[in-house]
Amino acid sequence: MSRITETFTKLKAAGRPGLVTYITAGDPSLARTRDVLFALARAGADVIELGVPFSDPLADGPVIQRATERALAAGATLDAVLGLVADVRAELTTPIVLFTYANPVARMGFGAFADRAAKAGVDGVLLLDVPIEEAGEVQGLLAARDIDPIFLVSPTTTPERIRDAARLGRGFLYAISRLGVTGVRDRVADGAEALVARIRKETSLPLALGFGISHPDHVRAVGQWADAAVVGSGLVQVIAECGDSPSLVPRVEAYVRWLTGEVPA
């Protein structure tokens, strides 16, 4: 059983939804990202999505785009991100999912990437811009190394493709609640509950819902339908505001504890 599957099994047994937190590796630096990873774990993140910086992000809004630019300027690469995971793995038990575009992986080589990811202790990989129809090869490489391939589904994904994503995927499905790019929103998308219900008809794989979630009210609402809420841009904005200052780690911890309802704003 993978760390991701074990985590969602425990969440179900406890009767509570999970929290998946996204950060961009290398923002403000790889050394501080290491500190932030441990802060997220202490504060209660159930799964950590670690974004690999890429120069041409298609699905990321301005907050994450700027974080990516800062990370690239600080020297973050796929190789360096894998090194970071390997460095923290012995001490960090929280599942880590690499969130990346295909180009950096293709440059490294899909087989070499799968080997490096397995050796580093990566638990799951989400290749954002690889269509389900073309994902068979990399899915096989990852699954053979006990890494969970994670797939995206959206409001426009057909039932057939939801079934394909569930058949190829492991760990959980990542449902995006709205079309467009990532970013903080005032409320959860109107069609989010219906989207979750539609996906539930096609698969029993755990479901994490993201895009636009940044407030405890959003997390509580999503938790009524999905197995976990995904928070990205709101957290990345906190990191942007703190930069490399001493307040970075305590602010990150406070924000995540606020999202879970553990502490007031």
**CB of 45 within 8 A of CB of 93?**
no
CA–CA gap between residue 130 and residue 165 (Å, rounded): 12
- Tell me the CA distances in angstroms from 78 to 11, 136, 163, 238, one per residue in order: 31, 22, 30, 23
Query: Of 49, 148, 164, 253, which one is the catalytic site residue?
Result: 49
| 79 catalytic per annotation | no
**CB of 21 within 8 A of CB of 40?**
yes
**CB of 140 within 8 A of CB of 114?**
no
Query: Of 46, 60, 202, 227, which one is the catalytic site residue?
Result: 60
Measured N-to-C along each axis, helices 136-143 and 110-120 cross at an angle, to the nearest 10 degrees, of 30
| 137 catalytic per annotation | no
- Give the torsion through C-alpha atoms of 256, 151, 70, 81, to 10 deg: 90
- Tell me the CA distances in angstroms from 62 to 45, 67, 79, 227, one per residue in order: 24, 9, 25, 27
DSSP state string for 103-131: HHHHHH-HHHHHHHHHHHT--EEEETT--
DSSP-based helix, strand, coil % in the chain, nearest 5:
50, 15, 35
Beta strands at 207-210 and 228-231: parallel, antiparallel or unpaired? parallel
Active site residues: 49, 60
